[in-house]
Amino acid sequence: MKLNSLPLMSRLVKKSPSVCTDLPLSSSDVCNKLHLMKEFLRSSYGPTARLKQVHNNIGGSVVTSSTSCVLLQAIASSQPIISLIRSSILNHVSRFSDCGLFAAVFCLCLLEQAGQCGLRKNVMIKVNKHLLALCTGYLQQEDCGCKVKLDFCSSHSLITLARSVISSKPTCVLTEPESDHISRLAVQAFLLTVPCNIPDPVRLGRTVTITIEGHSVLKSAVFPGLLLSMPENLCFESLCSPLHVVLFSISLAGDLSEIGDGRIEMHQGVDADSQILDRLLELGKQVLKDGVKLFLCQRVIHPVLQHYLRCNGVIVIERLGVSLMEPLIQLTGAQPVATLHATIPSTVFGKVHNVCIRQFGSKTMLHLHPAGETAVCSMILCHRNETMLNELKLVCRTTEHVLRLTLREPFALFGGGCTETHLAAYVRHKSKNEVSESTSVLGCSQTEYVLAAEAFCRSLELVASSLEHDGGTSLIDLTHAHHWTLPSDVTEEHLEGVMAPCACGVVESCQNKTRSYLDTKYAEFSPAPLLTASPLQATVLDSFTAKVNALGVAVETANLVLDVRYVIQDVN
Amino acid sequence: MLESVIINSRQHVGLQKVSALAGRFRSSIGPIKNYKFIQDEVSGESVLVCSCFRIIENLEPTCAVGQLVYETVRAHHKGYHSGSGCLLFLAGAWSRAALDCLQRGIAVTHIIKAMSEGMDICLDVCKKSSVLFKDIAVMHKRTATPQDLGLQLSEKAITDGSQEAANVHDKFLNMSGQRRVKLSRHFCEAKSEMLSSALLPDLPELPDVAVLAESLSHGCEDAMKLAVEAAQMLSKMNQQHISDPSFDISKVQTCVLPGLPEDCACVVEGCVFLLSDERARVAHRIKQQPLKVALVTGDLSQTYRHLGFKSLSGVGVCEHLDLSASSKEDEWLEKVVKRLLNLKVNLILTAGFASQKVIQRCCRHHILVVEKVNSSVLRIIAGSTGAVPVSYATQLAEPCVGNGINVEIWRDLSSFERKSSTAVKISTGRNGGLVTAVITSCIHGKLQALEDQFWACAYRLHHALKDRALLPGAGGTEVLCVHQLQKQAEYHRVEDSKTGSAANLYRGLVLQLMADGLIDYISAVMVSTGRFSAAEARTIVSKQLQDFHKDEIVAGKFLQLILESRREDAVFSAGKPDEALAVKIYDNLSVKQEAWRKALDLVFLVLQTDAEIITGTGQGTEENLMRL
């Protein structure tokens, strides 16, 4: 019994006991929901995926997207298992940005396959763990057959990687030239954020993204330096560089907003507003004396102060917002001033080389050119439609993150499902050959081990075939274990004559005899590495770091869910 | 708890919704738009609407697809102010085409690829068939003075790369027995050179704005007349050179005056405000002399604080003396009025409100206060008078005051309204000023529609002058697109029979369905003019397409000619076919291209969407819902 904590309590409310469910995966309700989630996320995976519209029941804006962060954040379930999977994947996405849907679909496929093959849970968990280590080990090897070393001497592989990420989201509705343009811009922005000289410690710069609706995608551009939105009709005479900059992080609106909602007592006859305004004007005078030409504030500036400064030839920009402060500090070297009441020492001033005005449609922006080497750049993204523009902005952020990850591990994996099929073939082969050793280590029978390994490989292959949404069938070649998709309207005979490369573009045409359908059993083989003299370069690449981590997250989450024995819920 | 809806892809509810929504607008496209009443069931209020954008704005679609449609139309309207009907109709027509493809089993990726190819073809046709300004000028000059020419030929200069011989056959010429001349492009060029040098030595580079406007009016002749007046007045005021035809639409404002009949609508220099009696008296006093003006962007009151200022809430006063707020206000008022008198300011314009006390006090000193002025108007006036807008009235100083502004009594409306009011015109009479189009109507509900029509015409003119080219109107461009799409579809079919692969078959089909959507649009426009029935429209269009296939003459103005043939016979009985100037109908190039692209974007987004996630508590038990 729990007493109500209201002082005027008149009732005693009985608290319901917690509900304990055992073996949640055996309940059909949970299984149905997991299946629904899997189908739902599978249909949003890849460049030909279907989009989802997210909106509130009571109205409000509609968001159309196929990205994992939007979709997973919208799925809020009362079922604990689903919440567990969801938060685990969201954690991965927040750390690596890419391969969120891959992780989710792989995890759910593992769970479904585990349920279907009916093995003991702890056997599945151990085998999964073992096979994950096998995969990660293989991927980390030098001679891994699905890994590509990125060549930083040419931008080609970086642009391919960027394009693969950008074209994986169909909500953007980009034509080929448009996605080429955006990929180039993304790589350009990334390269601009890598500092040229090697400061100590090495820090990557920032890309500030500004979106403009209603223009063609091809008008998007990247500028070194920062673009600040400014009020119209601001004209200034030519200024000589370098220009001194002062940056304020407090509100200069002339109010006492910093002190919060406390109670103030004033003497009668005191006009607080004009006193603060006087102090502000003194500040302005001092700043003018010090020769500052650019006066920036994170918050609001009092119009009288703005007017005074503008009449004296200073460029004033207010309401920058907290997200621009860090890049501004990096660009100008200014230290933000946080108080009105002290004299501003000249050490806090920053510098820019020059400013100019740029017009993008109806938006007027002030372009700050850096005084020296800088790692800050601005990207203007344009698109015809708000929905497509929002998705494009998300995708560009993901691309930036993926490119940064390549600095840590300069590799990429073949995309289009080829890595998954390759890994599946490798795991099958390896597990067949090592059955006896593995079973003794893992403490299970040979049959169990083989079945569990089969489930693991099957899940990988299911993820690869999830990329196809239009009724086509997936094929695998029996030499290199790469992935092909056969469209539904192309029959067997026609395929012979068709010289189509694999999904990632590396392996040339797939000969009839050395090919098999993905969902049939094929004789296991060791996938041969590609000849180094292969003429074709990959056209679809995946991020190495993100994918390896996604593999790990998926398997660990599946293992965790398999391991759950009891679920205790507080239903109050 | 959330629910999500999984939709059967063959039926595609989303595309059906778009098609259904667009179907309501069949009578709102074309030159003659029907007015509609939209009534709110709950509150009983009703609104009279005419344009597509206003209809959809008032319908307030609540479903997710409807909101997407509304967002697209709103974005288009904001930028272009015309073409929303075309956008909606084509979105509906092409959604039906996509549905058809889905039912035949064509994969979504193939539909998207083929439709993108179709759009590229259409945009290419637009570019190639666009008529440049100098050609319009040539044509107008020719048709205006036919007796100067030995040969009655209408020619059109060829844009580069055009395969088809571009020759306009004028039906009037045919009727008077002239031979239909079929010229190759080399021949045509030579002729034009010869004619131009011999007979028309001073060929105007640009067409007359009035001629251009007439062809763009699309049924709103009165509104277009106003727009032309506005453009001409602006160019005169800003002393624009004859070779610079641009129309700075940011310097145009509208003022809506209910109560006056519609033919009182006109364009005036400067801006128009309605003032109460007391202020009208002041206006009478200070009229017709050059005045000094002060501009305030905030409110004209002591309590105004700028945006972003957090007023002190928890302020307590130490010694409780009765320093009431009113004496503070009086103090402030004294200060402000004294300053205004010192600066010899007679007119003060504010973007915010002015309290009654301030207005009365200023009136006593013969200072005219005008409140709620548009901030863009303030900016323009600042630019042309040299005034600097300030936020607080107490900031006013000598450098902030502008001069050279004039006040005039424009019209006394006291007999029309219950509360007497006078319309007063404030103008700067100098470079950089603005013009106001005064829109009037006796029917209050019609005012917004009339204002929308004015803006539609003004923006059409603006875009025409910006693009420096126009598209053949009255369905002409659409017919060219249909022809090209059908040609490409045929090409794909032939290719398919050769190679035997099914890949090209679907492309041909999709292009054909897109062409059908455009034919649907053309017939809907023709039906809405009231002169054709649906069957007649279809027959005419298909006949013309057959002619295309036969002898490949590109005559972009055929539909217009058919329309003209349906005009009263008075035209022909006039006996002088040359005098009856064929008013060629044109469309904007950029507006049309944008409308088509946006329509297709919308179709693509809806086509690829297969489920909705509804967050928040959903307790309804509907079928087709699955809960997570």
The domain segmentation of chain A, as residue ranges, is: 21-132+415-569, 151-221+385-409, 226-258+270-373
- The reply to whether omega before A201 is within 30° of 0 (cis) is yes
Q: Would an 8 Å CB–CB cutoff place A269 in contact with chain B?
A: yes
Q: Would an 8 Å CB–CB cutoff place B468 in contact with chain A?
A: no
Give the whole-angstrom CA distance, residue A309 versus residue A299. 16
Lowest-confidence segment of A165-169, A310-314, B611-615 by average pLDDT? B611-615
pLDDT of residue A98: 93
CB contacts of A64 in chain B (<8 Å) are 68, 605, 609
Residue B70 has pLDDT above 50, yes or no: yes
Q: Which of B111, B309, B498, B602 to mutate: most A Cβ within 10 Å?
A: B309
ipTM of the complex: 0.89
pLDDT of residue A235: 67
Higher pLDDT, A269 or A570: A570
Residue B130 has pLDDT above 50, yes or no: yes
The pair of three-digit structure tokens given for residue A513, joined into one six-digit string: 């005899």
Q: Give, in order, the Cα–Cα distances in Å from A469 to each of A464, B15, B96, B107, B373.
A: 11, 18, 21, 9, 56
Give the whole-angstrom CA distance, residue A204 versus residue A201. 10
Higher pLDDT, A535 or A112: A112
| Among chain B residues, CA nearest to A172 | B605
Residue B408 has pLDDT above 50, yes or no: yes
> B63 vs chain A: nearest CA distance in angstroms?
9
Residue B145 has pLDDT above 70, yes or no: no
Phi, psi (degrees; rounded to nearest 5) at A337: -90, 130
CATH assignment of A226-258+270-373? 3.50.7.10
Residue B4 has pLDDT above 50, yes or no: no
Higher pLDDT, B305 or B454: B454
Residue A520 has pLDDT above 80, yes or no: no
> B45 vs chain A: nearest CA distance in angstroms?
22
CB contact under 8 A, B312 and A253: no
pLDDT of residue B306: 86
> A270 vs chain B: nearest CA distance in angstroms?
9
Give the whole-angstrom CA distance, residue A374 versus residue A369. 9
Lowest-confidence segment of A6-10, A201-205, B359-363 by average pLDDT? A6-10
Question: Which residues make Cβ contacts (< 8 Å) with residue B509, sequence separation at least 6?
Answer: B101, B104, B106, B489
CB contact under 8 A, B109 and A489: no
Distance of CA A483 to the CA centre of its chain: 25
Among residues of chain A, what percentage have pLDDT more than 90? Answer: 51
Comparing A21-132+415-569 with A226-258+270-373, is the CATH topology the same? Answer: no
| Among chain A residues, CA nearest to B320 | A268
pLDDT of residue B239: 75
A260: pLDDT confidence band, cut at 50, 70 and 90?
low
| Structural domains of chain B in order of their starting residue, each with its CATH number | 266-305+327-467 (3.50.7.10)
pLDDT of residue B600: 96
CB contacts of B79 in chain A (<8 Å) are 214
Lowest-confidence segment of A34-38, A531-535, B186-190 by average pLDDT? B186-190
B141: pLDDT confidence band, cut at 50, 70 and 90?
low
A512 sits in the region (left: phi over 0; alpha: psi -120 to 50; else beta) called alpha
| Among chain B residues, CA nearest to A487 | B107
Give the whole-angstrom CA distance, residue B52 versus residue B81. 11
H or E element at residue B49: strand B46-49
pLDDT of residue A132: 96
B386: pLDDT confidence band, cut at 50, 70 and 90?
confident
Q: Would an 8 Å CB–CB cutoff place B309 in contact with chain A?
A: yes
Residue A26 has pLDDT above 60, yes or no: yes
Name the pairing type of β-strands B271-275 and B291-296: unpaired
Q: Would an 8 Å CB–CB cutoff place B580 in contact with chain A?
A: no
pLDDT of residue A27: 85
pLDDT of residue A498: 56
Among residues of chain B, what percentage have pLDDT more than 90? Answer: 21
CATH for A21-132+415-569 (1.10.150.120, 1.10.443.10, 3.30.413.10, 1.10.560.10): 1.10.560.10
- The string of DSSP codes covering A25-40 is GGSHHHHHHHHHHHHH
pLDDT of residue A496: 56
**What is the mean pLDDT of the segment spanning B81-96?**
94
| Among chain B residues, CA nearest to A62 | B64
**Interior CA angle at B579 toward B577 and B584, to 5°?**
90
Q: Give, in order, the Cα–Cα distances in Å from A488 to each of A234, A411, B110.
A: 60, 34, 11
Q: Would an 8 Å CB–CB cutoff place A207 in contact with chain B?
A: no
CB contact under 8 A, B383 and A59: no
Closest-CA residue to B347 (of B301, B302, B401)? B401
pLDDT of residue B135: 75
pLDDT of residue B350: 92
pLDDT of residue B626: 59
Residue B174: count of CB within 10 angstroms of its CB:
13
The shortest CB-CB distance from A385 to any of B72, B314, B618 is to B72
Read off the amino acid at residue B607.
L
CB contacts of B321 in chain A (<8 Å) are 268
Residue B200 has pLDDT above 70, yes or no: no
The shortest CB-CB distance from A264 to any of B68, B116, B316 is to B316
CB contact under 8 A, A303 and B390: yes
Q: Would an 8 Å CB–CB cutoff place A46 in contact with chain B?
A: no
Report which DSSP code applies to B82.
S
pLDDT of residue B275: 85
Residue B404 has pLDDT above 70, yes or no: yes
Residue A261 has pLDDT above 90, yes or no: no
CB contact under 8 A, B308 and A300: yes
Lowest-confidence segment of A33-37, A507-511, A556-560 by average pLDDT? A507-511
Q: Which of A385, A391, A499 to mutate: most B Cβ within 10 Å?
A: A385
The shortest CB-CB distance from A261 to any of B313, B602, B604 is to B313
Q: Would an 8 Å CB–CB cutoff place A74 in contact with chain B?
A: yes
Packing angle of the helix pair A386-408, A176-192 (nearest 10 deg): 50
Helix/strand/coil for A251: coil
Interface A–B counts its CB contacts (< 8 A) at 199
Q: What is the mean pLDDT of chain A?
A: 87
> B332 vs chain A: nearest CA distance in angstroms?
12
Higher pLDDT, B265 or B175: B265
Burial class (CB in 10 A: 0-12, 13-18, 19+), A347: exposed
B290: pLDDT confidence band, cut at 50, 70 and 90?
confident
Q: Which of A386-395, B319-328, B425-434 has the highest mean pLDDT?
A: A386-395
Token pair 């819902």 is at which residue? B625
Q: Which of A94-103, A267-276, B25-34, B566-575 has the highest mean pLDDT?
A: A94-103
Lowest-confidence segment of B86-100, B163-177, B207-221 by average pLDDT? B163-177
The shortest CB-CB distance from B311 to any of A39, A233, A255 is to A255
CB contacts under 8 A, A 288-327 vs B, are: 299-300, 302-304, 307, 311, 319
Q: How many Cα atoms sit within 13 Å of A507 on the Cβ side?
A: 29
- The string of DSSP codes covering B307-367 is TT----SSEEESS-----HHHHHHHHHHHHHHHHHHTT--EEEESS-B-HHHHHHHHHTT-
The shortest CB-CB distance from A52 to any of B75, B609, B616 is to B609
Residue B432 has pLDDT above 70, yes or no: no
The shortest CB-CB distance from A57 to any of B601, B617, B628 is to B617
pLDDT of residue B186: 42
Lowest-confidence segment of A30-34, A225-229, A438-442, B43-47 by average pLDDT? A438-442
**What is the mean pLDDT of the segment spanning A357-374?**
88
Q: What is the mean pLDDT of chain B?
A: 77
| The residue count for chain B | 628
Higher pLDDT, B553 or B607: B607
Distance of CA A551 to the CA centre of its chain: 16
**What is the mean pLDDT of the segment spanning A458-486?**
88
Give the whole-angstrom CA distance, residue B68 versus residue B15. 12
Report which DSSP code applies to A325.
H
